[in-house]
Structure 1
Amino acid sequence: MADVRRDEAAAPPRSETARSAYPTYAEDDFSGWAWFTGGLMGLVGVFQVIFGITALAHAATYSVPSSGLVIDASYTTWGWVHLLLGLAFLAAGGGLAFGQTWARIVGVALAVLSGLVMFTFLPAAPVAAALIIAIDVLLIWAIVVHGGEGRQGR
């Protein structure tokens, strides 16, 4: 009995606010939501890069002339916009997967920008653009609601 009391006295008291409903371990830096949002950002980045390369290499692939889009720009211009946006998505996705705060801010801004770009590109590829807009909305929700979970274990 004396040994137990001595061990309890040596341990610092834990406050109720410091306790968690889940135990924490040394490898608890992993967050499923952080990896999900990072992976989703990477997926949208790959889609944007594919859109960009397609628009740069094969402008004739799209059945709508560039004058029929919401913003009248050539497919070469749209290709570069999609390509650069896709590369930014890939970089931010890596940051999100590892719980970086800057990546949360950049990720939301990029998802909003991607939704707007895809909305203007909707006449050229309606199904793909609508799918990416839906993923952008899901991505914004996941980052805003669960974006901080990647840092909680640290």
Structure 2
Amino acid sequence: MTATPESNRPRHGVSDGGKVGGASLFAGAALMLSGPLSILMGAAGIAQDTLFSASSGYAYRFGLTAWGVIHLVVGVGLVVAGLGVLGNRSWGRGAGAVAAGVSLITQFMFVPYYPAWAIPMMALDLMIVFALTRLQMEPGNR
């Protein structure tokens, strides 16, 4: 059995010609969807929109401005990571997985404020993390 040279091994999510494909393309596109949506949610929180409300006994209770800033920062991180994944940058996949993981945690903490928003966003973030961290089997190792 001969070893495949490093330069000839297919990279995860990269099709011929260095273009992003497969799970990486999905993850990059989903990051580019999740990021702007989080930025818009952050803007709504900073503007003190009446859309959000929470019970008084919630452990992670922050002011709406604080939640707005958190969503805004996370959203910008998601967009930057999405650009890295779609641009096939070496740091893109790792940054995307971390940004989606942080977004997943913040959305979990945001559930009491707006569950109809937070739960679908958590599902999207979970799919992004899965797509960016799944192992790709090489043809000889299946």
Into which bin does the TM-score normalised by the smaller protein fall?
A: 0.7 to 0.9
Q: Cα deviations across residues 93-142 of structure 1 (Å, max 9, x unaligned)?
A: 00001221212111111111111100110011102101011011100111
Matching residue's letter, 2:41: F
Q: Deviations over 1:7-62 (max 9, x none)?
A: xxxxxxxx7846889xxxxx621122332211111111011111101111133221
What is the TM-score normalised by the length of structure 1?
0.72
Provide closer, same or farther for how the CA distance between residues 70 and 100 of structure 1 changes in structure 2, counting only shifts above 3 A.
farther
* Higher gyration radius (CA): 1
CA contact (8 A) 1:108 1:143 kept: yes
Question: C-alpha root-mean-square deviation of aligned residues, in Å?
Answer: 2.4
In structure 2, the residue matched to 1:75 is: 64
Within 5 Å, give how 1:116-127 maps onto structure 2. Answer: 116-127=105-116
Residue in structure 1 matched with residue 126 of structure 2 by the alignment: 137
Aligned pair count?
A: 127
Report sequence identity in percent. 26
Unaligned runs of 5+ in 2: 11-15, 137-142
**2:53 is the counterpart of 1:63:** yes
Following the alignment from structure 1 to structure 2, what is the Cα–Cα distance between the partners of residues 38 and 62? Answer: 29
Letter in structure 2 aligned against 1:62: F
| Structure 1 counterpart of 2:32, from 33, 42, 45 | 42
**Cα separation, partners in 2 of 1:16 and 1:109, compared to 1, 3 Å:** closer
Q: For residues 78 and 99 of structure 1, what CA distance do their matches in structure 2 show?
A: 31
Paired residues for 1:84-95 under 5 Å: 84-95=73-84
> TM-score, normalization: structure 2?
0.78
Cα distance between partner residues in 1 of 2:80 and 2:9: 32
Give ranges in structure 1 of 5+ residues lacking alignment. Answer: 1-14, 22-26, 148-154
SS of aligned partner of 2:122: helix
Q: Are the equivalent residues in 2 in contact too, given 1:118–1:132 (CA < 8 A)? A: yes
Contact 1:68–1:123 (CA under 8 A) maintained in structure 2: no
